[in-house]
A = this chain, B = another copy of it.
Amino acid sequence: MDYPDVPYLVKLNSKTHLVKTTQKDPHSPLLVSVQDAIDLRDRTGLAIVAVGYTIYIGSEYEPEMMREAQQVILDAHRNGLLVVLWIYPRGSAVKDEKDPHLIAGAAGVAAALGADYVKVNAPKKEGEKSSMLLKEAVLAAGRTKVVCAGGSAIDEKKFLTELYDQIHTGGASGNATGRNIHQKDLAAAVRFTNAIFAITVEGAGVEEAWKIYTEGQDR
């Protein structure tokens, strides 16, 4: 409620990571419904424009999550909300969570379900460039836009370069950054967010974005 002008996405499911895949396959059912998100928007006036949901494909609970995701998409679209799916291959059946074909499969599932955006992990394969591998996922996603998970906190220059490559080589439509922003102090976080915005939305190159981050360029 402190930031009434910020557009919000309401994440509808979540879980702790205490129970590991070696013990039980991941399952993350709905905590709140699309209608709950709409009620929240209408009651508070917050700018809620999208909802999100995570599917772990390859989990023994995939059927439950796939069904909930599909229903979320139908409900959200009937109400004018965008949907972002987080899709991660995970479970005892999944040997390599970042296998490029599995990531592409995840993107294809999002397309089949009719998501607006799909957030996937950046694909990885020994000796290959991740942004090149991402192309397969972007093709599989069809009209669904692909964004890559920001991953663990890394060097900022490297981060911006990868982001640029994901967009300009891989065909991604942006990324989803968490720790690389919120583990910085406020001023640095704002500058880094501006740098990411410049690359993603304003067509900036890496050097330009780097300057925004390091020189605290006013915006």
Contact = CB atoms under 8 A, between A and B. Distances in A.
Contacts of A105: 16
A64 B91 CA distance: 19
Contacts of A208: none
Interface stretch (A23-31, A119-127, A146-154, A171-179): A23-31
Interface majority SS on A: helix, strand, loop or mixed?
loop
A81 interface: no
Number of copies: 5
A62 B16 contact: yes
A62 B60 CA distance: 16
Interface string A87-112: 00101111000000010010001001
How many interface residues does chain A have, given as a range? 35 or more
Contacts of A14: 66, 112
A211 interface: no
A67 to B, nearest CB: 5
Given A36-B74, A60-B24, A74-B36, A89 B30 contact: no
12 contacts: A14-B66, A16-B62, A16-B109, A18-B57, A18-B62, A18-B89, A28-B63, A29-B63, A31-B66, A31-B71, A32-B71, A36-B74
| A-B pairs with lowest CB-CB distance, top 8 | A18-B58, A31-B70, A19-B93, A18-B93, A29-B63, A16-B57, A31-B67, A27-B63
